[in-house]
């Protein structure tokens, strides 16, 4: 039984986090792993949409989410956050982008800041498919069509009418309940 | 259909064995015989109309698909239907199209196209609100029709079932309706009865019957529906209202034929989940069967469907049939 | 600070005494920049309490931020495979119930405490042990702390489970913190640093809002040690006076990238939103219990007995 580390307060991530990190073969060990991910995170912040292999995309996504959520939580005057931004973003103008562009963009978000989409598989071929990792709210055209659900589709018409009827019935019962009280007073 | 009907009858007879004081009117003909007679008339008339087409002429159909992409199809005049056009386009369109829009007019999928036209095929999930309301109405009307087909065949032979009519489709009322006269006084269906009817409905729908449309002369129609007093009564009135003044539109689905102005959905496989919610007794043995159904393309949560079912139990406010005897 | 060794007969404690040998890994992870941040939090204590008091009048219940240092055992084990929301909630309820029966005061590693436990083998007999809290860990009902003292020139350490029903009383004789989060190095320090008299009385605190940090630097015995302390970046230890090769080796095996591994930190902690929820759930009961005890104490010790 471990105790939770209290030294830092972190925001909850809005993506599914795996219990164990993915291990990448790297001659430099864990430091090399971080260096690889650093390149990916830098590219993501720079280009806003990148295509790469799935395991690395998934791992880099969580680091990018952490970086952005820390920047939103602590702002650019926080020493530790600045240190992290300095480490994770190789190009220094991207630090400004993180605090001046991405933080205002994501401040009001209720969902994750990045999106991971499975890319097409090459056919024929047996390699795992690529993945497309992007920052939400980027200027590029959407990857997937927006899911539609219109109020005039049959089930929505039926449910909408049921809802309206329920509200009317409730308003009536409320009126009936309040009347006798008023008469007593 | 016949097989399922017999299975159903065996289970259903137990339900009615308890009704001893029911007033029983012995019908002249069994329902299979009546249906067989109607179908033979329908087939004869259909063949006659087909033989009237002198020779095949070609027409150009401009199909407007996804993203306003237009495809021109060369089809046979008076023979090819929008369904045939869909067969040329894709399997998905073929299976999911409910009705067509021919020159902006809503058109049955199995109704021949008479001339050059622009064609749109509508699914149950259209993007346009006006189209959606048309599609919903069509679906609801077809469900009423199917309810009539199911109710007509699901009672024992000693109970006479006479279909009256179904009111214009109104999706907002929450239930589709068929008014039927039964030779039963004070029949209160049990929950099991509803389930049995819904199961028959579902079985019928899964047989994937197409809706076949035929415009027939009122005299033929009168002959076809001579066993049904209500329909025979309605036919002259309907015929005078029609554009030519003397035709009646009938639809055939499986072995059931009914009068309706249409249009109807392409086939019964487009109907998904369904439930028979209530049977209300209107005056003098006229019973109002009510149900609720969803297209096979639309799935909703069982709880949400439960809400729709409870709402469908309320008496549908559509106009009630007036009987001449009253 | 330094006291003479006062010998006491404490057979019970000696019998139970043991060294927590596998604590090396724990201590490594615990030694971080933690004291800096916590001291900031501690200095803000009085102000934040006031502010949150105002906020709690609204519909949103917010526990004071220092609660996570005062009651860290209410946070669940951050290991994701072992998380179970229902179990955690039930445990919190059990913990509050136990706290309503005995007072578990606020304490930190470095505080000097006295714990009275019942003897499970001889009814109506109690054993009291005084010592410095050298480590604190575990979460939920399994939360524990280790007290250390030197008795008869013999180092004695007892691990107490905070919510163990055998515990009769927990007193904090001196509430303070040290420069490090884990004081396991006291095992290798000179005995006077971990020697405390058993009849020591509870000290009165002048300033209730701030928990003082004791800046004492401990002098370690010469090698051999239980652990390689030079590798652990200890703050509360005097210069170790080792040959240069030890420091070189320490540099070789150090893992400087770990502080940049954001997900490693994330997997070790409970997110702030979840912490808020947990403390919002328990803080009103905790405060009520605290208030009741204060009123009882003010009425005088006569009513207690």
Identify the closest residue of chain C to A60 by CA–CA distance.
C263
Chains that touch B (3 or more CB pairs under 8 A): A
Chains A/B: 3 or more C-beta pairs closer than 8 A?
yes
**Which residues of chain A have a CB within 8 Å of the CB of C275?**
9
CA distance A80 to A77: 9
Domain positions in chain B? 2-46+139-312, 58-123
Give pLDDT, residue A160.
95
Give the minimum alpha-carbon distance from A180 to chain C in angstroms, rounded to a whole number. Answer: 31
**Least trusted range by pLDDT, from A139-153, B25-39, B304-318, C60-74:** B25-39
DSSP B228: -
CA distance C240 to C222: 8
The secondary structure element, H or E, covering residue A125 is none
Indicate if the pLDDT at residue A4 is higher than 50: yes
CA distance C179 to C30: 12
Give the minimum alpha-carbon distance from B305 to chain A in angstroms, rounded to a whole number. Answer: 9
Identify the closest residue of chain A to B299 by CA–CA distance.
A155
Indicate if the pLDDT at residue A72 is higher than 50: yes
Give the minimum alpha-carbon distance from A59 to chain C in angstroms, rounded to a whole number. Answer: 9
Which of residues 120 through 149 in chain C touch A, CB cutoff 8 A? 136-140, 142-143
Query: Which among B132, B139, B308 is the nearest to A152, CB-wise?
Result: B132
CB contact under 8 A, A6 and C79: no
**Which residues of chain A have a CB within 8 Å of the CB of C278?**
none
> ipTM of this predicted complex?
0.85
CB contact under 8 A, C272 and A19: no
Q: Answer with the residue of higher pLDDT: B326 or C107.
A: C107
Q: Which CATH number fits domain A30-135: 3.40.50.620, 3.90.1030.10, 1.10.760.10, 3.10.620.30?
A: 3.90.1030.10
- Neighbouring C-alpha atoms within 13 Å toward the C-beta of C245: 0
User: Phi/psi of residue C144, each to 5°?
Assistant: -140, 165
User: Phi/psi of residue C135, each to 5°?
Assistant: -160, 155
The CATH fold of domain B58-123: Ubiquitin-like (UB roll) (3.10.20)
Q: Which CATH number fits domain B2-46+139-312: 3.40.50.300, 1.10.3720.10, 3.65.10.10, 3.30.980.10?
A: 3.30.980.10
Helices B191-206 and B2-16, axial angle in degrees (round to 10): 180
A154 touches chain C (CB under 8 A): no
Give pLDDT, residue A174.
93
CA nearest neighbour of B297 among B315, B271, B275: B271
- Interface with A, mutate which of B130, B272, B307 (most A CBs under 10 A): B307
C294 touches chain A (CB under 8 A): no
User: Phi/psi of residue B176, each to 5°?
Assistant: -95, 155
A32 touches chain C (CB under 8 A): no
**Which residues of chain A have a CB within 8 Å of the CB of B298?**
153-155
CB contact under 8 A, B125 and A148: yes
Identify the closest residue of chain B to A163 by CA–CA distance.
B307
Instruction: Give the tens place of pLDDT for each residue, B172-211.
Output: 999 999 999 988 888 889 999 999 999 999 999 999 999 9
Domain positions in chain C? 11-298
Cα B144 from chain centre: 6
CA distance C70 to C90: 20
**Which residues of chain B have a CB within 8 Å of the CB of A148?**
125, 127
Q: Are B305 and B273 in contact (CB under 8 A)?
A: yes
Beta-carbon pairs below 8 A across chains A and B: 50
The answer to whether the Cα torsion of C29, C33, C36, C37 is positive or negative is: negative
Q: Are B282 and B321 in contact (CB under 8 A)?
A: yes
Give the minimum alpha-carbon distance from B311 to chain A in angstroms, rounded to a whole number. Answer: 7
Which of residues 55 through 84 in chain C touch A, CB cutoff 8 A? 68-69, 72-73, 75-81
**Beta-sheet pairing, B286-295 with C112-118:** unpaired
CA distance C149 to C128: 12
Beta-carbon pairs below 8 A across chains A and C: 104
CB contact under 8 A, C69 and A6: yes
Residues in chain C: 305
Give pLDDT, residue C248.
96
Give the minimum alpha-carbon distance from C197 to chain A in angstroms, rounded to a whole number. Answer: 30
CB contact under 8 A, C138 and A6: no
pTM above 0.80, yes or no: no
The distance in angstroms from the start CA to the end CA of chain A is: 62
CB contact under 8 A, A150 and B129: yes
pLDDT in tens, chain C (305 residues): 333 333 333 333 333 333 333 333 333 333 333 433 443 443 343 333 434 434 444 457 788 888 999 999 999 999 999 999 999 999 999 999 999 999 999 999 999 999 999 998 888 899 999 999 999 999 999 999 999 999 999 999 999 999 999 999 999 999 999 999 999 999 999 999 999 999 999 998 877 778 999 999 999 999 999 999 999 999 999 999 999 999 999 999 999 999 999 999 999 999 999 999 999 999 999 999 999 998 998 887 655 44
Identify the closest residue of chain B to A166 by CA–CA distance.
B311
Identify the closest residue of chain A to C270 by CA–CA distance.
A4
């Amino acid at each position: 039984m471990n105790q939770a580390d209290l030294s830092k307060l972190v925001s909850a991530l809005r993506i599914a986090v795996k219990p164990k990190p993915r291990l990448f073969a790297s001659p430099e060990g864990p430091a090399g792993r971080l260096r690889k991910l650093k390149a990916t995170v830098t590219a993501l912040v720079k280009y806003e949409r990148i295509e790469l292999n799935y395991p690395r995309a998934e791992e880099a996504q969580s680091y990018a989410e952490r970086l952005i959520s820390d920047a939103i939580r602590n702002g650019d005057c926080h020493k530790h956050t600045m240190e992290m931004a300095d480490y994770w973003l190789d190009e220094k103008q991207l630090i400004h982008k993180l605090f001046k562009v991405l933080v205002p963009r994501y401040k009001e978000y209720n969902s994750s800041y990045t999106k991971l989409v499975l890319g097409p598989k090459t056919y024929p071929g047996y390699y795992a498919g690529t993945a497309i990792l992007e920052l939400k709210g980027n200027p590029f055209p959407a990857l997937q069509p927006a899911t539609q659900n219109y109020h005039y589709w049959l089930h929505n018409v039926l449910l909408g009418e049921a809802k309206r009827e329920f509200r009317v019935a409730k308003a009536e019962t409320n009126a009936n309940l309040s009347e006798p009280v008023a008469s007593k007073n | 259909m016949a097989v399922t009907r017999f299975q159903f009858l065996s289970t259903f007879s137990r339900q009615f064995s308890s009704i001893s004081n029911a007033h029983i009117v012995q019908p002249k003909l069994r329902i299979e015989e009546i249906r067989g007679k109607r179908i033979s008339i329908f087939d004869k008339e259909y063949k006659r109309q087909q033989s009237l087409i002198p020779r095949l002429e070609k027409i150009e159909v401009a199909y407007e698909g996804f993203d306003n992409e237009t495809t021109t199809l060369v089809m046979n005049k008076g023979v090819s239907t929008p369904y045939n056009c869909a067969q040329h386009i894709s399997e998905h369109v073929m299976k999911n199209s409910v009705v067509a829009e021919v020159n902006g007019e809503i058109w049955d999928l199995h109704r021949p196209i008479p001339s050059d036209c622009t064609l749109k095929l509508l699914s149950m999930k259209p993007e346009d609100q006006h189209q959606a309301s048309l599609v919903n109405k069509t679906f609801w009307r077809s469900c009423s029709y199917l309810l009539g087909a199911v109710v007509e065949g699901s009672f024992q032979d000693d109970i006479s079932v006479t279909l009256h009519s179904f009111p214009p489709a109104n999706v907002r009322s929450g239930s589709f309706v068929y008014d039927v006269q039964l030779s039963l006084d004070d029949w209160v269906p049990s929950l099991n009865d509803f389930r049995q009817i819904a199961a028959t409905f579902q079985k019928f729908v899964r047989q994937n019957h197409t809706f076949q449309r035929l415009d027939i002369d009122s005299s033929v129609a009168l002959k076809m529906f001579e066993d049904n007093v209500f329909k025979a009564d309605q036919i002259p009135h309907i015929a005078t209202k029609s554009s030519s003044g003397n035709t009646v539109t009938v639809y055939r689905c499986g072995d059931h034929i009914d009068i309706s102005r249409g249009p109807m959905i392409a086939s019964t496989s487009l109907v998904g989940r369904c439930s028979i919610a209530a049977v209300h007794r209107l005056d003098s043995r006229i019973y109002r069967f009510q149900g609720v159904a969803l297209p096979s393309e639309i799935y909703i949560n069982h709880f949400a469907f439960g809400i729709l079912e409870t709402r469908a139990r309320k008496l549908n406010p559509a106009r009630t049939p007036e009987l001449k005897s009253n | 600070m330094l006291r003479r060794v006062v010998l006491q007969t404490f057979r019970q404690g000696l019998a139970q005494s043991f060294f927590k040998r596998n604590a090396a890994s724990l201590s490594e992870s615990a030694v971080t920049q933690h004291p800096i941040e916590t001291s900031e939090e501690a200095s803000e204590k009085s102000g934040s309490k006031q502010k949150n008091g105002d906020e709690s009048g609204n519909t949103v219940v917010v526990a004071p931020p220092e609660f996570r240092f005062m009651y860290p055992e209410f946070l669940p084990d951050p290991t994701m495979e072992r998380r179970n929301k229902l179990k955690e909630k039930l445990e919190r309820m059990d913990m509050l119930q136990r706290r309503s029966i005995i007072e578990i005061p606020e304490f930190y590693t470095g505080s000097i405490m006295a714990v009275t436990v019942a003897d499970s083998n001889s009814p109506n007999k109690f054993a009291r042990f005084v010592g410095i809290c050298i480590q604190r860990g575990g979460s939920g009902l399994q939360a524990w702390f280790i007290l250390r003292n030197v008795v008869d020139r013999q180092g004695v350490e007892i691990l107490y489970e905070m919510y163990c029903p055998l515990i009769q009383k927990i007193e904090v004789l001196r509430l303070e913190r040290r420069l490090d989060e884990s004081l396991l190095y006291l095992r290798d320090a000179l005995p006077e640093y971990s020697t405390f008299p058993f009849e020591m009385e509870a000290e009165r605190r002048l300033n209730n809002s701030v928990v003082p940090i004791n800046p004492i630097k401990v002098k370690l015995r010469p090698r051999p040690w239980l652990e390689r302390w030079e590798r652990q970046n200890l703050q509360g230890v005097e210069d170790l006076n080792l040959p240069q090769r030890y420091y070189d080796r320490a540099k070789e095996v150090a893992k400087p990238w770990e502080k940049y591994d954001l997900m490693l930190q994330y997997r070790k902690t409970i997110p702030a939103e979840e912490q808020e929820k947990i403390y919002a759930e328990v803080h009103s009961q905790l405060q009520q219990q605290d208030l009741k005890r204060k009123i009882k104490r003010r009425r005088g010790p006569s009513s207690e007995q």
